[in-house]
Protein backbone atom coordinates (compact mmCIF):
# COMPACT_ATOMS: atom_id res chain seq x y z
CA UNK A 1 0.00 0.00 0.00
CA UNK A 2 1.18 3.51 -0.76
CA UNK A 3 2.42 5.58 2.15
CA UNK A 4 1.92 9.26 1.27
CA UNK A 5 3.00 12.39 3.09
CA UNK A 6 2.29 15.83 1.64
CA UNK A 7 4.02 17.67 4.48
CA UNK A 8 5.88 19.73 3.51
CA UNK A 9 3.65 20.56 0.58
CA UNK A 10 5.43 19.88 -2.74
CA UNK A 11 5.70 23.05 -4.81
CA UNK A 12 6.28 22.15 -8.47
CA UNK A 13 7.77 24.42 -11.12
CA UNK A 14 7.74 24.19 -14.89
CA UNK A 15 9.10 26.50 -17.54
CA UNK A 16 6.20 28.97 -17.13
CA UNK A 17 4.32 27.81 -14.05
CA UNK A 18 4.39 27.44 -10.30
CA UNK A 19 2.08 24.79 -8.84
CA UNK A 20 1.54 25.59 -5.17
CA UNK A 21 -0.89 24.95 -2.35
CA UNK A 22 -4.28 26.64 -2.57
CA UNK A 23 -4.93 28.97 0.37
CA UNK A 24 -7.80 31.16 1.53
CA UNK A 25 -5.95 34.07 -0.12
CA UNK A 26 -6.95 32.40 -3.43
CA UNK A 27 -10.67 32.44 -2.63
CA UNK A 28 -11.56 35.28 -5.03
CA UNK A 29 -9.56 33.81 -7.93
CA UNK A 30 -10.84 30.29 -7.27
CA UNK A 31 -14.40 31.63 -7.09
CA UNK A 32 -13.86 33.32 -10.48
CA UNK A 33 -12.93 29.89 -11.84
CA UNK A 34 -15.63 27.80 -10.12
CA UNK A 35 -18.41 30.29 -10.95
CA UNK A 36 -17.43 30.63 -14.63
CA UNK A 37 -19.97 28.95 -16.92
CA UNK A 38 -17.38 28.10 -19.58
CA UNK A 39 -14.81 26.72 -17.11
CA UNK A 40 -17.46 24.54 -15.45
CA UNK A 41 -19.25 23.47 -18.65
CA UNK A 42 -17.88 19.91 -18.58
CA UNK A 43 -17.60 19.53 -14.81
CA UNK A 44 -20.72 17.99 -13.32
CA UNK A 45 -20.79 20.18 -10.24
CA UNK A 46 -22.95 23.25 -9.61
CA UNK A 47 -21.55 26.70 -10.26
CA UNK A 48 -20.43 28.30 -7.04
CA UNK A 49 -22.54 31.26 -6.02
CA UNK A 50 -20.56 32.72 -3.13
CA UNK A 51 -17.06 33.23 -1.81
CA UNK A 52 -18.14 31.27 1.28
CA UNK A 53 -18.73 28.18 -0.89
CA UNK A 54 -15.26 28.61 -2.34
CA UNK A 55 -13.69 29.00 1.11
CA UNK A 56 -15.43 25.79 2.18
CA UNK A 57 -14.02 24.03 -0.89
CA UNK A 58 -10.51 25.32 -0.11
CA UNK A 59 -10.89 24.07 3.45
CA UNK A 60 -11.95 20.61 2.18
CA UNK A 61 -9.02 20.51 -0.27
CA UNK A 62 -6.55 21.33 2.48
CA UNK A 63 -8.15 18.78 4.80
CA UNK A 64 -7.74 16.13 2.07
CA UNK A 65 -4.07 17.10 1.78
CA UNK A 66 -3.57 17.04 5.57
CA UNK A 67 -4.95 13.49 5.69
CA UNK A 68 -2.79 12.49 2.68
CA UNK A 69 -5.92 11.35 0.83
CA UNK A 70 -5.36 13.56 -2.22
CA UNK A 71 -3.45 16.60 -3.36
CA UNK A 72 -4.39 19.71 -5.31
CA UNK A 73 -2.25 22.53 -6.63
CA UNK A 74 -3.12 26.09 -7.58
CA UNK A 75 -1.80 26.81 -11.07
CA UNK A 76 0.00 30.17 -11.30
CA UNK A 77 2.19 31.82 -13.87
CA UNK A 78 5.75 32.41 -12.67
CA UNK A 79 5.22 36.07 -13.52
CA UNK A 80 2.06 36.39 -11.38
CA UNK A 81 1.10 34.54 -8.16
CA UNK A 82 -2.63 34.78 -9.00
CA UNK A 83 -4.39 31.40 -9.21
CA UNK A 84 -5.56 30.76 -12.79
CA UNK A 85 -6.39 27.08 -12.52
CA UNK A 86 -5.98 23.89 -10.55
CA UNK A 87 -4.59 20.41 -11.03
CA UNK A 88 -5.05 17.53 -8.64
CA UNK A 89 -4.93 13.91 -7.70
CA UNK A 90 -8.28 14.15 -5.94
CA UNK A 91 -9.00 10.46 -5.55
CA UNK A 92 -6.06 8.27 -4.58
CA UNK A 93 -6.52 4.52 -4.22
CA UNK A 94 -3.52 3.72 -2.01
CA UNK A 95 -4.16 -0.04 -2.07
CA UNK A 96 -4.01 -0.02 -5.88
CA UNK A 97 -1.27 2.60 -6.43
CA UNK A 98 -3.73 4.51 -8.60
CA UNK A 99 -4.97 8.09 -8.63
CA UNK A 100 -7.52 10.13 -10.51
CA UNK A 101 -6.27 13.33 -12.08
CA UNK A 102 -8.35 16.48 -12.44
CA UNK A 103 -7.66 19.90 -13.89
CA UNK A 104 -9.33 23.14 -14.82
CA UNK A 105 -8.20 26.51 -16.11
CA UNK A 106 -9.84 29.90 -16.36
CA UNK A 107 -11.01 30.35 -19.99
CA UNK A 108 -8.95 33.52 -20.47
CA UNK A 109 -5.86 31.24 -20.36
CA UNK A 110 -7.14 28.47 -22.65
CA UNK A 111 -5.24 27.35 -25.76
CA UNK A 112 -1.84 28.40 -24.43
CA UNK A 113 -0.63 24.95 -23.33
CA UNK A 114 -0.85 25.89 -19.66
CA UNK A 115 -2.91 22.94 -18.45
CA UNK A 116 -0.87 20.54 -20.57
CA UNK A 117 2.30 21.87 -18.90
CA UNK A 118 0.76 21.53 -15.43
CA UNK A 119 -0.58 18.03 -16.17
CA UNK A 120 2.86 16.93 -17.37
CA UNK A 121 4.41 18.15 -14.12
CA UNK A 122 1.98 16.31 -11.86
CA UNK A 123 2.11 13.11 -13.93
CA UNK A 124 5.88 13.15 -13.49
CA UNK A 125 5.48 13.82 -9.76
CA UNK A 126 2.84 11.11 -9.43
CA UNK A 127 4.96 8.43 -11.06
CA UNK A 128 8.41 9.38 -9.77
CA UNK A 129 7.68 10.72 -6.28
CA UNK A 130 4.38 9.12 -5.28
CA UNK A 131 5.08 5.82 -7.07
CA UNK A 132 1.67 5.49 -8.68
CA UNK A 133 1.27 2.50 -10.96
CA UNK A 134 -1.43 4.27 -12.97
CA UNK A 135 -3.32 7.54 -13.28
CA UNK A 136 -6.87 7.77 -14.55
CA UNK A 137 -9.13 10.57 -15.71
CA UNK A 138 -12.94 10.61 -15.81
CA UNK A 139 -14.19 13.15 -18.33
CA UNK A 140 -17.32 14.33 -20.07
CA UNK A 141 -17.03 12.71 -23.53
CA UNK A 142 -18.06 16.03 -25.07
CA UNK A 143 -14.98 17.69 -23.59
CA UNK A 144 -12.77 17.42 -26.68
CA UNK A 145 -10.13 19.75 -25.20
CA UNK A 146 -9.66 17.51 -22.17
CA UNK A 147 -9.50 14.42 -24.36
CA UNK A 148 -6.77 16.04 -26.47
CA UNK A 149 -4.73 16.87 -23.36
CA UNK A 150 -5.01 13.29 -22.12
CA UNK A 151 -4.06 11.77 -25.48
CA UNK A 152 -1.12 14.17 -25.79
CA UNK A 153 0.17 12.70 -22.53
CA UNK A 154 -0.37 9.13 -23.79
CA UNK A 155 -3.52 8.32 -21.83
CA UNK A 156 -5.71 5.70 -23.51
CA UNK A 157 -9.45 5.31 -23.22
CA UNK A 158 -10.27 2.34 -21.01
CA UNK A 159 -14.02 2.67 -20.67
CA UNK A 160 -17.13 4.52 -21.70
CA UNK A 161 -20.02 4.50 -19.26
CA UNK A 162 -23.44 5.43 -20.59
CA UNK A 163 -25.60 7.56 -18.33
CA UNK A 164 -23.68 6.59 -15.18
CA UNK A 165 -23.72 10.02 -13.55
CA UNK A 166 -26.78 12.02 -12.54
CA UNK A 167 -26.43 15.80 -12.47
CA UNK A 168 -28.77 18.74 -12.98
CA UNK A 169 -31.77 16.56 -13.79
CA UNK A 170 -30.11 14.37 -16.40
CA UNK A 171 -27.98 11.25 -16.72
CA UNK A 172 -24.53 11.91 -18.17
CA UNK A 173 -21.94 9.68 -19.83
CA UNK A 174 -18.35 9.32 -18.62
CA UNK A 175 -15.22 8.45 -20.58
CA UNK A 176 -12.39 6.94 -18.53
CA UNK A 177 -8.79 7.34 -19.65
CA UNK A 178 -5.73 5.81 -18.04
CA UNK A 179 -1.96 6.01 -18.15
CA UNK A 180 0.24 3.26 -16.73
CA UNK A 181 3.59 4.26 -15.26
CA UNK A 182 6.09 3.56 -18.06
CA UNK A 183 8.78 2.84 -15.45
CA UNK A 184 6.80 0.03 -13.80
CA UNK A 185 7.12 -2.42 -16.66
Give per-residue pLDDT as tens, 114-135.
999 999 999 999 999 999 999 9
Average pLDDT score over the chain: 97
Q: Which residues contact 14 (CB under 8 A, 6 or more apart)?
A: 117, 118, 120, 121
- Give the pLDDT score at 185: 61
CATH number of 12-184, picked from 3.40.640.10, 3.40.630.30, 3.20.20.210, 3.90.79.10: 3.40.630.30
Query: Using an 8 Å Cβ cutoff, are 49 and 110 in contact?
Result: no
Model confidence, pTM: 0.95
- Where does the pLDDT of residue 152 fall: very low under 50, low under 70, confident under 90, or very high at 90 and above? very high
- Give the pLDDT score at 183: 84
Q: Specify the DSSP class assigned to residue 133.
A: S
Sheet with 12-13, strands from edge to edge, namely: 12-13, 17-20, 71-77, 80-93, 98-105, 134-139, 170-180, 156-167
Gap between the Cα atoms of 97 and 130, Å rounded: 9
Dihedral (Cα; 39, 10, 28, 14), 10-degree rounding? -60
Give per-residue pLDDT as tens, 1-27.
999 999 999 999 999 999 999 999 999
Query: Using an 8 Å Cβ cutoff, are 6 and 71 in contact?
Result: yes
Give per-residue pLDDT as tens, 168-183.
999 999 999 999 999 8
Amino acid sequence: MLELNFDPFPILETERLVLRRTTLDDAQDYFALRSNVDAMKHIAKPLQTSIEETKTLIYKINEMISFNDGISWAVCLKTDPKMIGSVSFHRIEKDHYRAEIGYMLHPSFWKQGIISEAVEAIIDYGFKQLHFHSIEAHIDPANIGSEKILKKHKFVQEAYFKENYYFAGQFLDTAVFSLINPNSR
